[in-house]
C-alpha cells in the first residue's frame, strides 16, 4: 500500500517538528536578547554568550548525530514492517551518547581558559566566557540524552512528544532567564550572565526528565541495556561517524566565523552573535519540513516506494520555500525592531543592520539545503552528506572567508562565505537526489 503524501500528512509531522526545532535556537536567542540588555557590562556579556554558545553548539551538533542515525534506522525498519527487530537498539544508542558526552565534558572542563583564548577571547570577555561555560557545560549530557530520545520518537513517526519537551524547556528557560539574570526584588539577587547559564541548565534538566518519562510511558521502547550488541549498532556507529565528521566541518565554518568576528572587535562579535542566532532560528524554523522529509523519507525508502519519495521531496521543498519567503518578508518589515530585541548599543546595532540583509535574502536558498539535508539523513545517505559538507566548507567557505579578511571586508566577508557555503550544500544535494532517484520512478 502506497503512503499518502499529502499536505495534511506532511504537516502533521512538520508543524510539531518546527515548534520543537525552534526551541533550541530560542534558548540561545533568549540568552542573547536578555544578556545583551544587562545593565552592567552588557556588551562584554553579549560577546561572551555568543562565543560560548557557538562552542557549545559545535559540541552538541557533533556528538548529537546519533539522533539522526537512530531516527533513520527505526523509520526504515518501520516502513519495512520489521520494527520489533530493533527494540533493543535505542538503549544501546542512548548509552553510547551519554558515554561520549561525559568524556567530552571531562576533557574540556579543565582547559576552559585555553579553549576560549584560541577563540580570541581576552580580558573581561574571557573571564565571562569561563564563568558562563563552567555552568552550561553540565547540561551537555542532558541535551544529548534528550536528542537521542527525540530521534527515537521521530523514527516512530511521532513529532508531538518532542514538541512538548521542547516547548516546556523553552518556556521554562525564558522565565528563569528573566528571574535569574535581572533578579526579583526582595527574593533573588541579579546574577547577570551566570544567571543565564543556570537558567539554561535547569531547563535542560527538566527536558531530560520529560524525555525519560514520555519514552517509558508512551512507547514500548525499553531503556534497559541488554546484550548482545544489536547487529544494527555497527551501522548506526558508521552513520554517526560520517555525521560526526560532517558536523566537524560544519562547525569549523561556524567557529572560524566567530573567531574572525571576535578579532574585529566587541561590536562585531556582538553583531555577529545576533545575526547567527537569527540565522539558526530561521534554519530550525524551516527545518520542520526537513524533519518531515527525514521521517517520511526513511519509511518510504524502507517500503521501496520511490514514487512516493519523489512526491515527498517536491512537496516539502514547496512548503519550505513558502515558509522561507514569509520569513524574508517579516525580516524586511521588522528590520530595525529585530535588532532592538537584542541590544541597545548603537555600535552593535549599526554593525548588525549593515549585514542583516544578507541573512534575510539567503533564506530561500538555505531552505533547499536544509530540506534535502533532512531528507538525505532519513535515507541514510550519511557518507554523501559528509562529503558535501567537507567540500562546501574547505572549497567554498574557508577560501571566501580568508579572501574577505585579505580585502578587509569585515562582517561582509564572513556572511559572503556563509552564502557560498549554503549554495554548494544545496546544489550538491539536489543534483544527487535527482541523479539517484529519478531512474527508479515507475512513471519515469
Which pLDDT band, with edges at 50, 70 and 90, does 4 fall under? low
CB 310 within 8 A of CB 360: no
Percent of the chain with pLDDT over 70: 94
Residue 33 pLDDT > 80, yes or no? no
For the packed helices 42-63 and 89-108, what is the interaxial angle rounded to 10 degrees?
140
| CA gap 358, 415 in Å, rounded | 7
Most confident among 1-15, 51-65, 71-85, 246-260 (mean pLDDT)? 246-260
pLDDT of 2 over the 60 cut: no
Asked if the model's pLDDT at residue 142 lies above 50, the reply is: yes
Mean pLDDT of all residues in 35-51: 76
Closest CA relative to residue 165, chosen from 214, 202, 201? 214
Distances (CA, A) of 198 to 107, 181, 329: 21, 9, 35
Write the CA distances from 130 to 35, 50, 100, 133, 423, integer angstroms.
Answer: 16, 13, 22, 5, 35
The Cα 28–Cα 43 span in angstroms is: 16
What is the value of pTM for the model shown?
0.76
pLDDT tens, position by position, 163-210: 899 889 888 988 998 888 888 877 888 788 888 889 989 999 999 999
- Flag whether pLDDT at 63 surpasses 70: no
Select the more confidently predicted residue: 421 or 46.
421
CB atoms within 10 A of CB 361: 13
Q: What would the grid cell of residue 57 be? A: 553548539
pLDDT at 319 over 50: yes
Residue for grid cell 518546527: 18
Of the candidates 184, 182, 156, 10, the residue with the CA atom closest to the CA atom of residue 83: 156
Residue 3 is predicted with a pLDDT of 54
**pLDDT the model gives residue 1:** 43
Amino acid at each position: 500500500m502506497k503512503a499518502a503524501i499529502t499536505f495534511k500528512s506532511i504537516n502533521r509531522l512538520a508543524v510539531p517538528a518546527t515548534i520543537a526545532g525552534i526551541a533550541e535556537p530560542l534558548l540561545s536567542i533568549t540568552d542573547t536578547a536578555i544578556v545583551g540588555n544587562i545593565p552592567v557590562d552588557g556588551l562584554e556579556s553579549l560577546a561572551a554568550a555568543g562565543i560560548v554558545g557557538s562552542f557549545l553548539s559545535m559540541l552538541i551538533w557533533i556528538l548529537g548525530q546519533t539522533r539522526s542515525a537512530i531516527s533513520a534506522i527505526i523509520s526504515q525498519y518501520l516502513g519495512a514492517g520489521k520494527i520489533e527487530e530493533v527494540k533493543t537498539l535505542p538503549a544501546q544508542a542512548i548509552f553510547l551518547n551519554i558515554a561520549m558526552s561525559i568524556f567530552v565534558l571531562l576533557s574540556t572542563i579543565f582547559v576552559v581558559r585555553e579553549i576560549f583564548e584560541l577563540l580570541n577571547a581576552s580580558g573581561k570577555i574571557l573571564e565571562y566566557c569561563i564563568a558562563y561555560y563552567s555552568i552550561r557545560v553540565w547540561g551537555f549530557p542532558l541535551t544529548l540524552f534528550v536528542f537521542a530520545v527525540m530521534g527515537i520518537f521521530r523514527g516512530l513517526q511521532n513529532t508531538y512528544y518532542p514538541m512538548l519537551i521542547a516547548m516546556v524547556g523553552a518556556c521554562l528557560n525564558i522565565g528563569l532567564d528573566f528571574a535569574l539574570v535581572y533578579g526579583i526584588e526582595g527574593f533573588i539577587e541579579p546574577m547577570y550572565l551566570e544567571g543565564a547559564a543556570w537558567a539554561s541548565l535547569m531547563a535542560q534538566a527538566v527536558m531530560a526528565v520529560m524525555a525519560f518519562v514520555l519514552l517509558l510511558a508512551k512507547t514500548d521502547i525499553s531503556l534497559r541495556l541488554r546484550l548482545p550488541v544489536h547487529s544494527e549498532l555497527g551501522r548506526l556507529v558508521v552513520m554517526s561517524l560520517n555525521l560526526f565528521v560532517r558536523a566537524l566541518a560544519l562547525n569549523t565554518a561556524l567557529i572560524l566565523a566567530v573567531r574572525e568576528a571576535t578579532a574585529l572587535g566587541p561590536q562585531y562579535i556582538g553583531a555577529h552573535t545576533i545575526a547567527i542566532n537569527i540565522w539558526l532560528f530561521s534554519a530550525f524554523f524551516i527545518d520542520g519540513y526537513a524533519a518531515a522529509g527525514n521521517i517520511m523519507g526513511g519509511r518510504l525508502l524502507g517500503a521501496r516506494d520511490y514514487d512516493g519519495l519523489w512526491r515527498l521531496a517536491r512537496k516539502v521543498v514547496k512548503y519550505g520555500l513558502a515558509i522561507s519567503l514569509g520569513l524574508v518578508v517579516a525580516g524586511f518589515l521588522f528590520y530595525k525592531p529585530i535588532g532592538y530585541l537584542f541590544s541597545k548599543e548603537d555600535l552593535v546595532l549599526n554593525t548588525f543592520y549593515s549585514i542583516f540583509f544578507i541573512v534575510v535574502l539567503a533564506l530561500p536558498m538555505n531552505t533547499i539545503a536544509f530540506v534535502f539535508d533532512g531528507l538525505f539523513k532519513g535515507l541514510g545517505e550519511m557518507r554523501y552528506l559528509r562529503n558535501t559538507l567537507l567540500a562546501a566548507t574547505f572549497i567554498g567557505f574557508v577560501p571566501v572567508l580568508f579572501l574577505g579578511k585579505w580585502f578587509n571586508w569585515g562582517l561582509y566577508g564572513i556572511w559572503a562565505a556563509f552564502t557560498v557555503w549554503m549554495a554548494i550544500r544545496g546544489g550538491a544535494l539536489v543534483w544527487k537526489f535527482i541523479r539517484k532517484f529519478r531512474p527508479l520512478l515507475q512513471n519515469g
